[in-house]
Amino acid sequence: MAQSVSSIQARIRRGDGSPLVTAGDLAPSEHFVDGGFRPGKSGRTMDVVNPCDGTLFAQVPEGTAEDVDLAVAAAVAAKATWGRTVPKERSEVLHRIADRVEEHAEALARLESANTGKPLMVSRDDVAQSVDTFRFMAGACRALTTAASGDYAPDHLSVIRREPLGVVGIVTPWNYPLLMAVWKIAPILAAGNTCVLKPSEQTPLTTLKFAELVADLLPAGVFNVVTGDGPTVGGRLAEHPDIDMIALTGSVGSGRAVARAASDTLKRVHLELGGKAPVIVFEDADLAAAAESLRVAGYWNSGQECGAGCRVLVHESVAEEFVGHLVGQVETFVVGEPTAGDEVEIGPLVSRAHFERVTGYLERARAAGVRAAVGGTRIEGPGFFVAPTVLVDVPEGAECAREEIFGPVVTVETFGDEAAAVSRANSTPYGLSASVWTENSRRGLDLPDRLDFGTVWVNAHLVLANEMPWAGFKGSGYGRDLSVYALDDYSRTKHVMHHHAR
């Protein structure tokens, strides 16, 4: 039986009207180019909306190709000097950036929550992870080495040099605006590149604030921000002849568009795209622990999470018991505005368009006979709130279990044997992440080999470590974020050979 809408509404926590930020907390509403804020060439602006009530929150420039070209010229002019700095020098700058972000952590978290509607607990975690990403890259770039030099052809000494790529274009999504920007900026700068970043049109504010905070720490032109829409600003970055690599985190459609636009110049492409992570729960799993873990892994950031454990495949013999545990977890969520206190766990979705997308999936699932064990509806009233939902009686191949919903919605399918579980888990165009829940240690060791995903957790889900890579397979893209592998992706190796016969 679906939980009644009125009981969910009764639990929506609203703030007392005091804002998270004031106009004085925002960075200038301009592009950040060549070390300073500059107005856009068109004079046009884009609206940034508060997801808690749909009201206008801020405006930023609607960037043009000309704005991108100016930013790229600044990044090109800065690349030789920044690219020649030694790792120690870049590392010190990155540590200073980490310190600066940490000093302003609460202000950044509040701004992120104000722009995205995220609970403060999520924004604070985003900022803490951003700080740690800078610190990790500051250390890692000093430890990165190449193969030892040696003679591989007689009387010829081979040396491998690691070099920056040059200028990297970055396009980021709205779900973790600051953190996804930092996942790119930190390794890209650590590897000696300069960059031009386009934030999501819906959530540009913490990226601009970050630029303001670190402006005095970086040489002019090393880091630039141009706001605007995807096809115009992101498209120009992807096709620009002076950009050496384009790195995008976003949906599969945007990834395809970027890869196409990049193909004429044959620049490198780095894509972190969508996901639909299966959570395979075997009959011998600790069901309560799996459900408790999914409270976070399925619903963190209101389910707007590319690695979310949103597609449960549970053995038919324990399905009812598992659903009972999961519904018990989901019923106790605190849903509300970020201004309503630190206990809020689920906020509104980011925009009206996304809200309509998610509720569209729920309506079509209901029409197809899928049952909501809890939630399953929008929440009436101001803002883009959707009730935390568990969908059961989900037939194999159902749309809600196949496509990325990207909201607080977990689907539950059942399976009869291990082979079916593996083949159904793999039968998705995505390949970002998956998890396996079992107390059988042989199965726990063997099964990850058979799953076609860039990250596979055993008896866990959505636990990340900045030392480890985050990267998808198949339709989830290619290119590694985090870890030393990201430094590899954002640099190139050159073979220099010296003939030394005498």
Residues recognised as catalytic: 272, 306
Closest CA to 312 of 215, 413, 242, 238: 413
Q: Which of 35, 61, 117, 230 binds ligand NAD (CB under 6 A)?
A: 230
Return the range that interacts with ligand NAD (CB under 6 A); candidates 268-276, 323-331, 377-385, 415-423: 268-276
Range 323-382, binding ligand NAD (CB under 6 A): none
Least separation in angstroms between CB 475 and ligand NAD: 10
Q: Which of 126, 404, 413, 489 binds ligand NAD (CB under 6 A)?
A: 404
Q: Which of 87, 234, 298, 336 binds ligand NAD (CB under 6 A)?
A: 234
- Going by their DSSP bridges, the two strands 194-198 and 223-225 should be labelled as parallel
Residue 254 binds ligand NAD (CB under 6 A): yes
Return the range that interacts with ligand NAD (CB under 6 A); candidates 81-89, 107-115, 232-240, 377-385: 232-240
**Are the beta carbons of 469 and 140 closer than 8 angstroms?**
no
Residue 273 binds ligand NAD (CB under 6 A): yes
Residue 249 binds ligand NAD (CB under 6 A): yes
**Are the beta carbons of 124 and 172 closer than 8 angstroms?**
no
Q: Judge residue 73's burial from the number of C-beta atoms within 10 Å of its C-beta, 0-12 exposed, 13-18 middle, 19 or more buried.
A: middle
Of the two residues 75 and 246, which places its CB atom closer to ligand NAD in the complex? 246
**Are the beta carbons of 234 and 198 closer than 8 angstroms?**
yes
Least separation in angstroms between CB 178 and ligand NAD: 12
Residue 175 binds ligand NAD (CB under 6 A): yes
Which residue matches tokens 């274009």? 169
Residue 129 binds ligand NAD (CB under 6 A): no
Least separation in angstroms between CB 270 and ligand NAD: 11
Return the range that interacts with ligand NAD (CB under 6 A); candidates 56-64, 213-221, 242-250, 455-463: 242-250
Which residue matches tokens 């921000």? 225
Residue 240 binds ligand NAD (CB under 6 A): no
Q: Which of 42, 149, 251, 426 binds ligand NAD (CB under 6 A)?
A: 251
When computed from its CA atoms, the radius of gyration of the chain, rounded to whole angstroms, is 23
Of the two residues 19 and 231, which places its CB atom closer to ligand NAD in the complex? 231
SS3 content of the chain, % helix, strand, coil (to 5): 40, 20, 35
Q: Which of 238, 262, 290, 379 binds ligand NAD (CB under 6 A)?
A: 238
Residue 174 binds ligand NAD (CB under 6 A): yes
Residue 231 binds ligand NAD (CB under 6 A): yes
**Are the beta carbons of 299 and 333 closer than 8 angstroms?**
yes
Measured distance CA(208)–CA(21) in Å, rounded: 15
Strand order in the sheet with 268-272: 36-38, 31-33, 223-225, 194-198, 167-171, 245-249, 268-272
Which residue matches tokens 């107390």? 439
Compute how many other C-beta atoms are within 10 angstroms of the C-beta atom of residue 289: 14
Return the range that interacts with ligand NAD (CB under 6 A); candidates 18-26, 93-101, 174-182, 444-452: 174-182
Residue 472 binds ligand NAD (CB under 6 A): yes
Closest CA to 404 of 198, 203, 253: 253
Q: Which of 116, 200, 438, 491 binds ligand NAD (CB under 6 A)?
A: 200
Least separation in angstroms between CB 174 and ligand NAD: 4
Tokens (6 digits) for 55: 């009201």
Residue 198 binds ligand NAD (CB under 6 A): yes
Least separation in angstroms between CB 198 and ligand NAD: 6
Q: What is the DSSP string of 132-157?
A: HHHHHHHHHHHH---PPPEEEETTEE
Measured distance CA(96)–CA(454) in Å, rounded: 32
Range 302-331, binding ligand NAD (CB under 6 A): 306
Contacts with ligand NAD, residue ranges (CB under 6 A): 171-175, 180, 198, 200-201, 229-231, 234-235, 238, 248-251, 254, 257-258, 272-275, 306, 404, 406, 432, 470, 472, 476
